[in-house]
Amino acid sequence: MKKKLRKKENFYPIKGFKKGKYGIILLILVLTIIFSFYFLLYTNYFDVKNIEVRGNEHIEKKEVIRLSNLRTGMNIFKFNKEKVEKNIQRNSFIKNVQIERKLPDTIYIYTTEREITSIIAYNDGTFLYLDEEGIVMDHKETLNTYNKPIITGLEDVSFIINNSIEINPNWLRRSILETISLLKKNDLIYEISEIHILENFDIHLYTNDGSVINIGNSSILKENIDFLKSFLGQPHQKVIIDISHGGDPVCKPRRN
């Protein structure tokens, strides 16, 4: 018997079926995205129940939350973190802010506050409160007690709250701020009651016990900081000390 030979049949994928399969997958993907988007933004599962503030010492929690414009009941995804951080930093006492979402319903606001390091006696009888960087934190008619030195003798000063203080000449501004930074870094800021600027722009430090130290400028203070620490660290009579010349300290009693 002769065997019948079967023709080899060729099978080709049906293009329409292939397109239909991918279309179904795409449709499922789109629906999944839409459902997820709806679930994240339009259900109460992600409604904010708690707003926690951390790092605030002088500024009340309710004030930080007020500045943020955040509120309980809002969707945790429906706010811009950078915008909220900028809103909070409108308060001149706040240096840095970081917002963190803790799913599903809690927002953490981490703040770093500025610290008052000096007070400028302004020419109209008011007072400007500065941090170490020279940012004007507050402007008041009265002098609050912060146990920080008062800067006197300045004439050409201008300011905007929450901005850096303007002092003419600018090199004097840098020297004053560097002096404050050196005093703070060496734990001497509480020993100084006044920083007085003379007409020739020399800087005088008045200690809490009534002594006067002419440092000249911040560079000379930096070179003599160990001497100042030693002098302020031991009992002494009221004296006037001059180190502005850069040589050995010249000391004489203070009569008034």
Q: Mean pLDDT by 10-residue block, N- to C-terminus, for the chain (256 residues)?
A: 52 57 74 65 86 95 97 94 96 97 96 96 95 96 88 96 97 98 96 97 96 97 96 92 94 88
According to the model, what pLDDT value does residue 12 have?
54
Q: Which of 254, 145, 154 is nearest to 206 (CA)?
A: 254
According to the model, what pLDDT value does residue 23 have?
72
According to the model, what pLDDT value does residue 35 have?
62
According to the model, what pLDDT value does residue 145 have?
72
According to the model, what pLDDT value does residue 16 have?
58
According to the model, what pLDDT value does residue 251 have?
94
- Looking at domain 118-253, its CATH architecture is 3-Layer(aba) Sandwich (3.40)
According to the model, what pLDDT value does residue 256 have?
72
Q: Indicate the SS3 state at residue 201.
A: coil
According to the model, what pLDDT value does residue 25 have?
77
According to the model, what pLDDT value does residue 236 have?
85
Question: Is residue 187 left, alpha or beta, with left meaning phi > 0 and alpha meaning psi from -120 to 50?
Answer: left
Q: Which of 238, 235, 236 is nearest to 255 (CA)?
A: 238
Class of domain 47-113: alpha beta
- φ and ψ at 12, to 5 degrees? -120, 140
Instruction: Give 82-129 as a 3 state SS string.
Output: HHHHHHHCCCCCEEEEEEEEECCCEEEEEEEECCCCEEEECCCCCEEE
Q: Indicate the SS3 state at residue 26.
A: helix
pTM: 0.81
The residue with tokens 């006696």 is: 121
Domain limits, the chain: 47-113, 118-253
